[in-house]
């Protein structure tokens, strides 16, 4: 695997403690000998508090890999660990947000965010405190009693992210969460996700096929090859957590965006 690193003054970025480790993960669909190899020997590491993107064309296995990390699918070979613990299925240590909003339409914004906390057995006072905190972070206080159908698409996705963050997971997994939104709303939510990352220090793994989105949001980009999905390139992004729209005018941003576009063809 070729590694391209971009860091200030040409130095290698500081390595932080691994929160998530994927080792030798392969996935085959169908019967042995006649199956389809979707992933082949994927290795990656995500440090505590990092935002990392999986970038690649449609059909390269990005979402399959995210589902394996989330415990929603089993790998044919290899393993996934969070804080050193082997992932064997879904767990409260991983929150997941999909492209579709997947909210409970009969529950209010507050109740949707609170749902997982009730299932986890949090007491009422602690639930209220946590939900109030997230309503503030997500700028949703004025809509706490609204139903999902009364919200815009962007607001629904903010509720979905808040619900995934509510139980304080070790890793937040985002599967093209802004893919169904119009360009203006998408850019707004990208900025919003950066603020959430800055305020919460969450460890985030995000699937995208949008090159500019990957460069704008992440600390590291894992570029996946076409099927079978492999890590073709590992690229360090030369911007820290405290970034904003002005970074898109930085020559390093433009060069990296163009380089990634060329890689994806």
Q: Are strands 18-29 and 36-47 parallel, antiparallel or unpaired?
A: antiparallel
- Closest C-alpha among 127, 124, 138 to residue 168: 127
> pTM value?
0.86
- Backbone phi, psi, residue 100, to 5°: -75, 155
pLDDT beyond 90 at 252: yes
Instruction: Output DSSP code: residue 229.
Output: B
- Closest C-alpha among 175, 205, 168 to residue 47: 205
For 108-129, what is the mean pLDDT? 94
pLDDT beyond 50 at 12: no
Q: What is the pLDDT of residues 128-161, one digit of tens each?
A: 999 999 999 888 999 999 999 999 988 998 999 9
* Domains of the chain in sequence order: 1-6+16-93+170-265 (3.40.50.300), 100-168 (no CATH)
**Residue 17: what pLDDT?**
66
């Amino acid at each position: 695997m070729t590694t391209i690193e971009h860091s200030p003054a040409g130095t290698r970025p500081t390595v932080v403690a691994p929160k998530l480790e994927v080792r030798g993960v392969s996935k085959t669909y169908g019967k042995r000998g006649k199956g389809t190899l979707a992933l082949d020997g994927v290795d990656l590491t995500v440090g505590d508090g990092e935002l990392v993107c999986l970038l690649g064309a449609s059909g390269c296995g990005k979402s399959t890999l995210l589902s394996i990390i989330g415990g929603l699918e089993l790998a044919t070979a290899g393993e996934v660990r969070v804080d050193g613990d082997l992932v064997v299925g879904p767990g409260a240590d991983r929150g997941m947000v999909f492209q579709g909003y997947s909210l409970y339409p009969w529950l209010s914004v507050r109740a949707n965010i609170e749902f997982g906390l009730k299932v986890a057995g949090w007491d009422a006072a602690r639930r209220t405190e946590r939900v109030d905190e997230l309503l503030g972070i997500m700028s949703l206080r004025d809509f706490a009693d609204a139903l999902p159908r009364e919200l815009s698409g962007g607001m629904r996705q903010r509720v979905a992210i808040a619900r995934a963050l509510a139980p304080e997971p070790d890793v937040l997994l985002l599967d093209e969460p802004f893919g169904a939104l119009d360009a203006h709303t998408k850019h707004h939510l990208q900025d919003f996700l950066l603020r959430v990352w800055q305020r919460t220090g969450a460890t985030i793994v995000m699937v995208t096929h949008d090159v500019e989105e990957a460069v704008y949001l992440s600390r590291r980009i894992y570029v996946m090859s076409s099927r079978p999905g492999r890590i073709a390139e590992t690229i360090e992004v030369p911007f820290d957590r405290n970034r904003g729209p002005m970074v898109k005018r930085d020559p390093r941003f433009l060069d990296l965006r163009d380089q990634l576009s060329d890689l994806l063809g």
